[in-house]
C-alpha cells in the first residue's frame, strides 16, 4: 500500500498507515489469544452470547 502512494506530508503517511493497521489488518488477522479468531469474530460472538443471556 505504502509503495503505491505518494504522500505529500509525513502526517498523511502516518494516518494512512494507522487506517490500514486498525481498519483492516487488526480486524482480519487471527489472534492466538482469541482462540485463533479475528477480533471481529470474537466481538460478534461476545455480543451475540450476551444478548441471548
Query: Up-side HSE of residue 47: CA atoms within 13 Å toward CB?
Result: 6
Label residue 17 exposed, middle or buried (CB < 10 Å: 0-12, 13-18, 19+): middle
- What whole-number distance in Å separates Cα of residue 42 and Cα of residue 35? 9
Mean pLDDT of the chain: 80
Taking the complete model, does pTM exceed 0.75, yes or no? no
Residue 42 has pLDDT above 90, yes or no: no
Position of cell 503505491?
A: 4
pLDDT, position 44:
82
- 44 compared with 11, residue with greater pLDDT: 11
Report the pLDDT value the prediction gives residue 53, as an integer from 0 to 100: 53
Cα R_g (the chain), whole angstroms: 16
Amino acid at each position: 500500500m505504502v509503495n503505491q502512494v505518494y504522500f505529500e506530508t509525513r502526517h498523511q503517511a502516518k494516518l494512512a498507515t494507522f487506517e490500514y493497521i486498525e481498519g483492516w489488518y487488526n480486524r482480519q488477522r487471527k489472534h492466538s489469544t482469541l482462540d485463533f479468531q479475528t477480533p471481529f469474530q470474537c466481538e460478534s460472538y461476545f455480543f451475540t452470547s450476551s444478548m441471548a443471556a
